């Protein structure tokens, strides 16, 4: 049975003992309801590090009023079984009380990178994410931490925090894992009806269409975005929250996709907010 560690001090003691014995430590932070996307991060951590810790914590700080904190899927025992199949040395699953004891008052934020896209739609979300990731990194003290590219803005914010505040950890960002029909895996896909799920395929279709346009030589952002938008709006059924082509390092809008651009999109399907992204081009041009 994979041990479940509930206390911050206990987690730090365990991590220090492993590292003191010379083991490299990999860390995968999650909110649970694990799917193949998380498991691909676990496998990468396993391949790279002698010990692997996963955290499972539905972080109240990153949910706004009226968001899905209460109904966010939780299945610790199911997650434990999935983790046993890929190999994991400890699950760090603290309570909100343990993570945010009375008097907790310090937060980490990046107003500039969090001002747009997910940050604009979900005020306070990235402050909650950065605060919990900072705390988790201090508690677990890993050598390497693994994140998914599906949450591209989150991954950029975490990389920026780690660089700006000199956290002694390497951040690895791994590609989005998709269902065979193209839908990016997300714990929130569980909210979709069969019919909603079919409509949600508009997101990955939009990325594929923009990629094809790019492969044909199109570099103008306006044309690439128009192609993606056509796919999102036809057939109707998705409500587009944002669609943009940005510099992957700054999230500033691009006019041309040269040499690379990150196509970001978000849409709502029956009230469920879904995000996806694709890198167009390669740094070599
Ligand atoms: O991506 C997630 O699941 C969460 O935002 C994270 C990084 C575990 C922080 O709560």
For 6-34, how does the pLDDT look when each residue is reduced to its tens digit (9 = 90+)?
A: 999 999 999 999 999 999 999 999 999 99
Does this model's pTM top 0.85? My answer is: yes
- What spacing in Å lies between the alpha carbon of 33 and ligand 1's midpoint? 12
CA–CA dist 69, 78 (Å, integer): 19
Q: Which residues pair with 48 in a beta bridge?
A: none
- The predicted-structure confidence for 187-226, as pLDDT tens digits, reads as follows 999 999 999 999 999 999 999 999 999 999 999 999 999 9
Q: Average pLDDT, whole number, for the chain?
A: 97
DSSP state of 26: E
- The answer on pLDDT for 271 being more than 80 is yes
Question: What is the helix (H) or strand (E) element at residue 273, kind and residue range?
Answer: strand 272-280
3-state secondary structure of 278: strand
Residue 173 has pLDDT above 90, yes or no: yes
The residue nearest atom 5 of ligand 1, judged by CA position, is 129
Asked, as a colleague might, if the bond just before 138 is cis with ω within 30 of 0, I would say no
pLDDT band at 285 (very low <50, low <70, confident <90, very high): low
C-alpha–C-alpha distance, residues 36 and 240, integer Å: 26
Q: Is 129 in the pocket of ligand 1 (CB under 6 A)?
A: yes
CA of 62 to the centre of ligand 1 (A): 9
Distance (Å, whole) CA 106 – CA 57: 19
Of all protein residues, the one whose alpha carbon is nearest to atom 9 of ligand 1 is: 129
Examine the residue annotation and report whether 38 is marked as an active-site residue of this protein.
Answer: yes
Query: What is the token pair recorded at 221?
Result: 């952002």
DSSP tag of 142: -
Establish whether residue 40 lines the binding site of ligand 1, counting it when its CB lies within 6 angstroms of any ligand atom.
no
Domains and CATH numbers, the chain: 4-174 (3.40.50.620), 187-278 (3.30.1300.10)
> In the structure, what pLDDT confidence band is assigned to residue 283 with cuts at 50, 70 and 90?
confident
Q: Ligand 1 pocket: which of 27, 30, 74 to mutate (most atoms <8 Å of CB)?
A: 30
Is residue 108 lining ligand 1, measured as CB closer than 6 Å?
A: no
Q: Which two tokens stand for residue 146?
A: 């693994």
Residue 9 is classified by DSSP as: H
Q: Is the CB of 30 under 6 A from ligand 1?
A: yes
pLDDT attached to residue 237: 85
**Chain-centre distance of CA 144, in angstroms?**
16
Which of 53, 58, 125, 132 has the most ligand 1 atoms within 8 A of CB, as the residue to mutate?
Answer: 132
Which tokens in the block code for residue 253? 């809008």
pLDDT digits (tens, 9 = 90+) for 112-137: 999 999 999 999 999 999 999 999 99
User: 170: how many CB neighbours lie within 10 A of its CB?
Assistant: 13
Predicted local distance difference test score (pLDDT) of residue 159: 98
């Amino acid at each position: 049975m994979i041990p479940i560690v509930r206390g911050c001090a206990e987690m730090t003691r365990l991590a220090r003992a492993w590292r003191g014995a010379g083991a490299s430590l990999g860390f995968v932070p999650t909110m649970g309801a694990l799917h193949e996307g998380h498991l691909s991060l676990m496998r990468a951590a396993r391949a790279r590090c002698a010990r692997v810790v996963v955290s499972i914590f539905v972080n109240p700080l990153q949910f706004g009023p009226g968001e899905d904190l209460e109904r966010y899927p939780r299945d610790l025992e199911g997650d434990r079984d999935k983790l046993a199949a890929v190999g994991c040395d400890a699950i760090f699953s603290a309570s909100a009380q343990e993570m945010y004891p009375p008097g907790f008052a310090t937060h980490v934020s990046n107003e500039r990178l969090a001002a747009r896209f997910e940050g604009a739609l979900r005020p306070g979300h990235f402050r909650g994410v950065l605060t919990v990731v900072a705390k988790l990194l201090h508690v677990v003290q890993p050598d390497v931490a693994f994140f998914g590219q599906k949450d591209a803005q989150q991954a950029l914010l975490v990389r920026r925090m780690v660089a700006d505040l000199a956290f002694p950890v390497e951040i690895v960002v791994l590609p989005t894992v998709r269902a065979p029909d193209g839908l990016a895996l997300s714990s929130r896909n569980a909210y979709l009806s069969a019919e909603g799920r079919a409509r949600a395929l508009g997101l990955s279709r939009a990325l594929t269409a923009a990629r094809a346009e790019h492969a044909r030589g199109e570099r103008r952002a306006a044309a690439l975005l128009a192609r993606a938008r056509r796919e999102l709006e036809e057939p109707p059924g998705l409500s587009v929250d944002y669609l943009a082509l940005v510099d992957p390092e700054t999230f500033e809008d691009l006019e041309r996709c040269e040499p690379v651009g990150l196509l970001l999109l978000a849409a709502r399907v029956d009230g469920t907010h879904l995000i996806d992204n694709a890198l167009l081009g390669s740094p070599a041009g």
